[in-house]
């Protein structure tokens, strides 16, 4: 079951929710576990291979063996 991360816009607490894709599509009843606020926003994470290429100066221009 995938984990989705959310952050509370009120207190900054991170909330992790485990839900199936169909549960997520139906809508999740989310609230901050710390302050009770319903004002939470999904945290978007990029895949690690993509970030690794950017942080090393790109795939083709770096000295590391990359994806080129």
Output 66 or 8, whichever has higher pLDDT. 8
Contacts 24+ apart (CB under 8 A), 52-58: none
Evaluated on CA atoms 34, 40, 41, 44, the torsion sign reads positive
Rounded to two decimals, what is the model's pTM?
Answer: 0.57
Domains of the chain by start residue, with CATH: 3-45 (2.20.28)
Kindly state the helix (H) or strand (E) to which residue 22 belongs, with its residue range. Answer: helix 21-26
The helix or strand, by DSSP H or E, that contains position 5, with its residue range, turns out to be strand 3-8
Per-residue pLDDT of 14-47, as tens digits, reads 988 888 888 878 888 888 989 999 999 988 876 6
Q: Which candidate, 21, 23, 22, 41, places its Cα nearest to that of 31?
A: 41
What pLDDT sits at residue 1?
75
Which DSSP symbol is given to 40? Answer: E
């Amino acid at each position: 079951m995938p984990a989705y991360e959310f952050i509370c816009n009120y207190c900054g607490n991170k909330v992790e929710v485990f839900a199936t894709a169909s549960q997520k599509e139906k809508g999740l009843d989310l609230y901050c576990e710390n302050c009770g606020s319903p004002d939470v926003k999904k945290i978007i994470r990029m895949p690690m291979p993509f970030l690794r290429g950017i942080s090393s100066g790109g795939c083709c221009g770096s000295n590391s063996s990359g994806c080129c």
